[in-house]
Each structure stands twice: as C-alpha cells, then as structure tokens.
Amino acid sequence: MRSPRPTRRRGPRRFAALLLCVAATLPPTASPAGAAAPPPVPGTLQGYDIGSVFTAGVSSGGYMATQLHVAYSGTFEGSAAFASGPYDCARGQLATALNACMDTTQSLQLAALEQATRDRSAQGQVDPVANLAGDPVYVFSGSGDTTVKRPVADALADYYGRFGARVQYDRSTAAGHAWITPLGPNSCTVTQTPFLNNCGIDAEAALLGHLLGSVTAPGSGTGGSLIRFDQNAYAPGGSASALSMGAEGFAYVPASCAQGARCKLLVALHGCKQGYTYQGFGTRFVENAYLNEYADTNDMIVLYPQAAATATLENPNGCWNWWGYLGDTAYARHGGKQIEAIMGMVRALRGTGTPPPTGDRTVLSSTDTEDGYVKAAADGSGAAVGTLEDVYGLALGRGTDGKVNRSVVSFDTSRIPAGKEVARAWLTVTRSSGSGDPWASPSGNRLQVDLRTGCFGGCAVEPADWSAAATVAGAARVDAFTSGSAVSTDLSAEALAALNRGGVTQFRLGFTSAPAGTAYLFVNQATPVTLTVEYR
C-alpha cells in the first residue's frame, strides 16, 4: 500500500517566513451609507447547502474563534481574530488570562501551548493538528490596544505559524481594543463602548479576502433575513444561561442561500460587553460588524452566537469562555459547553440532521492495544491480522495485495456515567492516507459500522473478527471523505441499547462491498478513534 504523507517537521520555524504581514496601512475605502440590517424575525436554524465554514471574533470572541478552529479543525477551514492571543493561553486560570494573555507581566509560554495542543490532538481531545496546515488565518492588532497588548497578538500569529497555517497579520494601525469596521462609530484609537472602531480601512474585505481567497464588493446588508433563534435548543443541558450564553442568537441568511445556492458559513463572535443582552447593547455588533454587506454578495451565511453576563462575578461582562469559568474545564476542546452549543448551531445550518444536544456528553478514546485491522479475501477466507497499523493506521477497503481490510476498535463504555440514559452516540475517524475511492467502487458502496457488546472474540484483534457475528450490524455508517476527520451517523436506537455499560464495546468498520480494484484508506495513524456519547 502507498506510504502515508510525510510528517511535517516539528522543529523551530521562522516567524517572519510564516506571516503574510500587512506592513502598510490598507487603502481607505469609501464610507458606507451607515449601519443597516433587516429587523430580526423569530425563527429556527434551518439546513442550507454549506461548503466551507470559518470563524471570526474580537477579544474574548477572538479567543473563542481560535478555540473553535483548533478544537474542530475538521469543520472550520480558517479563522480571523481581532485583539486576542493564542489557543488556550489562559490554561484554565483567570490570573494567567489577565497577566499573560492580556497584559505581558507573565510569560504566556508559547512553546508549552504548542505542545499542549499537540498532546490534546494525540489524545483525541481536539481534531488532528495536521488539519491546520495551510488554513488561512487573519490576525489584527492595533498599537493603541492596551487591553490585549501587541506581544500577545504576535504570539497568536506565531502559534498558528508553528502548525503551518497561512497567517496574514495586520498590525499597521494605532487601533484601540475593538472590532475594526467602516461602520464603527468610534475613532480608530479609542477603547470604549461599543468597541466598534473606524480606522479608515476595510478590515472585513481583508479578512474575508484571505479566508475565502477572493471577495466581491459589499452590498446593502439588507437583502437577506436576520433570524432570531433560541440558543437554549443548542446548549448542553438545555439552558443557555447556565453556560453564560443568551437565550437568543442571530443568523443572517442572504436570499441566495435561502434559495439554494452553495454558500459559506462564518461564525462571528462578539467581544466582552458586546452581547445582545449586555446593558441594552442590542444588535449593534450584528448591524455594524460590516459582515452582512459582504454576506449578500458572497453567498455567505453569518452566524452570531451570543454570550451573556452572569449575575455573579464569574463573567459579569458577558465574555466568551476562554479561561474556564463556571467550572467548565473542557472550555477549549471537545466537550466544552459553549463550543458544543455553537457546533450544534453549525450542524443545524449545514443540514446534517443532527438534533441539538439534549444533555451532557463524554468523549471516549479507543483502546490502542485492542485496536487493529484484519485482511482477507473478498469472501472472508484466508483472514489474517494486519501488521501495518503502527506505520500507516487502521486499514479499510482493498489494498494493493488484493486483500479486503476491516478494522476493529474497542472502547471502555463502562465510563459512561451510571444511571444516565444514553441519548446519542457517534464515532469520529481521521483519514491518514489512501488511494482511490472505495465509496465509488462499486458505486454507492457504504462504510458500515457494526457493534459488538463485549468483544467479537478475544478483545485483542484476531483473524476471526473479519466475519464474526455482530450484536448490531449496520449500527451506523461513515460517509465518504477525502481528508481530515469524519463523523459517523448517529448510532441506531438498537445500537445505543447494546452499548456495554459494564465493560468493553467493540466496533468493526468495513465496506459493505469489496472494491473491484485497489481502493483503500488508512485512518487514525496518530490518534485514537473517538466515541462521543450524549446522555441525560
């Protein structure tokens, strides 16, 4: 079989070589007529034909934009951040957030942040960091920003460069701490409400041009619909306020997207003191961010989730969770409550059919010593355990030796909390390499997931696992994907009931038909397969 893609060198990288620095002030643009948006209308998040998905944010929203991008890099293809720093800079400590990630009186320890990200990726707590290579990232920092100081934003650009992202860094203005927009009522250098500053440049053209590759001139921003939707429906546990999120969020949907055009999705995250419910702030960020205008002419839906202040001192300014408030230790990775709420919104807009989360969740990593693959003739004869897992990963499909591969992964499902009802569960697999398209050979081929309560034989992979009886055949499927991570369909109700709450549950992945010729993929060479379980 074909060798996997070479591993990227992890040694030091030159900061300057990885940045597409904006050294000069961008040319001023004609002043827009003024803030405009259609009045919000109550509704729900419907499914649209969405391709690429990106994040953008300012201050705490910039930190959350980066957290979403790193945690779910298989979903998000790039990010933009104004006035913020590197991923999980605070490491769960408010003092670190204040002293290292806003001020510079404490070192933010960038090398340690990089290593922590790689460790989380290896443990399946965030998507594979290899996904970040080549992703467009836009960073903005003004020299007048004394809230999040310039070296912190420098570290964000450097952080992304260490993973091979394409960073465009605008540090050309004396901007204060704000989202920069031609519609900003504030002058460039101030730091004051509503934290929307006009610096005589069109930062949205720059960030969207970098994220999308090219951008069409903006329209009026009133040609679509501004949907006001219930965020409680997407909050783990059903209460947005329990996560320091508002009851209502917004989504701007251009007419072209509503009529079936292929569209992009941008998740736009306000900063502290900019949420809808914060002291009457209302929709000023939604109306003045200068994104709806570009959405109209670039087939782009803009999702505006809303954070909210707590009545306690945990989060009185309505910031996004980037330091671990309200006891959410998973705030920057898979399972983080605000992250998962936003991911539920993204899935709803993509029309994946995934309902909003209804309770808490746990993410289980497969047991490496019990994972493996078995190869056999198409009729199952001559089965043998594959030997290339450590080098290439778990094999699926027909290899160059003519053998058909099936993979088996094990999970300790006794770790699902006792006394909880399992509501949903799904597998996440990550492509390592491959050749051909086994989903198209023959046409309509399916990558099926079978479930076994306990183990197919012994829990260590053995030849008989290739054809051993499953407790639930066809428990789920994994649709075709060519890179990054893929999520299976939800396990069937029968499969949920068959999860072994007292020990091991095994899953076997294999194509329902043997590919006619060489067509295979390797998955999870460097990271475990994960099983996400939601319960109530």
pLDDT by residue, tens only, the chain of 536 residues: 323 223 333 333 333 323 333 333 333 344 565 556 788 999 999 899 999 999 999 999 999 999 999 999 999 999 999 999 999 999 999 999 999 999 999 999 999 999 999 999 998 899 999 999 999 999 999 999 999 999 999 999 999 999 999 999 999 999 999 999 999 999 999 999 999 999 999 999 999 999 999 999 999 888 899 999 999 989 988 899 999 999 999 999 999 999 999 999 999 999 999 999 999 999 999 999 999 999 999 999 999 999 999 999 999 999 999 999 999 999 999 999 999 999 999 999 988 644 444 457 888 999 989 999 999 999 999 999 999 998 999 999 999 999 999 999 999 999 899 889 998 999 999 998 999 999 998 988 999 999 999 999 989 999 999 999 999 999 999 988 887 778 888 899 999 999 999 999 999 999 999 999 999 999 998 889 999 998 88
Chain position carrying tokens 């428990």: 475
**Geometric angle at alpha carbon 267, from 263 and 272, rounded to 5°:** 160
Q: Break the chain down into helix, strand, coil percent, rounded to 5.
A: 25, 25, 50
What letters, b where the CB count within 10 A reaches 16 and e where it falls short, cover 122-156? Answer: eebbbbbbbbbeebbbbbbbbebbebbbbebbbbb
Rg of the chain on CA atoms, in Å: 24
CA distance linking residue 92 with residue 88, whole number of Å: 8
CA-wise closest residue to 235 among 151, 321, 167, 173: 321
Element (H, E) at 472: strand 472-478
CA-wise closest residue to 298 among 251, 346, 254, 268: 254
Residue 304 buriedness (CB in 10 A; 0-12 / 13-18 / 19+): buried
pLDDT at 482: 83
- Strand residues in 183-272 grouped as ranges (E): 186-187, 196-198, 225-230, 248-253, 263-269
What are the residue numbers of the active site? 59, 145, 177
pLDDT at 360: 75
Where are the alpha helices (H) located in 386-511, listed in sequence order? 389-392, 493-498
pLDDT at 155: 97
Question: Is residue 153 classed as helix, strand or coil in its secondary structure?
Answer: helix
Contact criterion met (CB below 8 Å) for 487 and 344: no
CA distance linking residue 292 with residue 286, whole number of Å: 8
- Strand residues in 201-321 grouped as ranges (E): 225-230, 248-253, 263-269, 300-304
Contact criterion met (CB below 8 Å) for 177 and 148: yes
Kindly give, in sequence order, each residue whose CB lies less than 8 Å from that of residue 452, ignoring residues fewer than 6 positions away: 468, 470, 471, 505, 506, 507, 508
